A = this chain, B = another copy of it.
């Protein structure tokens, strides 16, 4: 039965929805399964099923991190002091409104493949880039004093919140 498939969160639509789902679904071995009926009028009687793959985004970010590590498809170099960090503009822009404005706002950085960053030290940028590709950041007392202003400059609200939480 489709509705018992692990790792997939499903929304079932339509009156009969091809006979699947009885409203008594449980979670699968590894993932979350949810079945809903009538999520949209337009789907009525269509027997459509919406599959929401909960693992997909993590898998995709893991692959993007791997490609960053191997400098595959990277299209920007961030120069900080004497160090160079490679990255993907789309990932940086998705994580930071500062980078989004830099890469899409018609500034000369849009066309540049190397961007000099001021006001961030290499260690802090390494942590921030790691966050951009993993959603995880390790904070300690030494780091937080530099991380908070850098995250503020890059407008990375999740990291700002994490720093403030650390300091509370």
Contact = CB atoms under 8 A, between A and B. Distances in A.
Nearest to A7: B161
Interface in A35-70: 46-61, 63-64, 67
A51 B165 contact: yes
24 contacts: A5-B161, A5-B165, A8-B161, A47-B140, A48-B139, A50-B138, A51-B137, A51-B138, A51-B162, A53-B135, A53-B137, A56-B131, A57-B61, A60-B95, A60-B132, A63-B94, A64-B90, A64-B91, A67-B94, A73-B89, A73-B90, A73-B103, A73-B104, A90-B90
A126 interface: no
Interface in A82-105: 88-91, 93-95, 100, 103-104
Contacts of A63: 93-94, 100
Interface residues of A, number: 53
Query: Considering the complex of A and B, which 6 residue pairs feature the smallest CB-CB distances, nearest first?
Result: A56-B135, A63-B94, A51-B162, A60-B94, A57-B57, A5-B165
Interface of A: 1-2, 5, 7-8, 18, 46-61, 63-64, 67, 72-73, 75, 88-91, 93-95, 100, 103-104, 131-132, 135-141, 158, 161-162, 165-166, 168
- Of the candidates A52, A57, A103, the one having the most CB atoms from chain B within 10 angstroms of its own CB is A57
A5 B165 CA distance: 7
A42 to B, nearest CB: 11
Given A46-B140, A63-B100, 7 more contacts: A56-B158, A67-B104, A72-B104, A73-B103, A75-B75, A90-B90, A90-B91
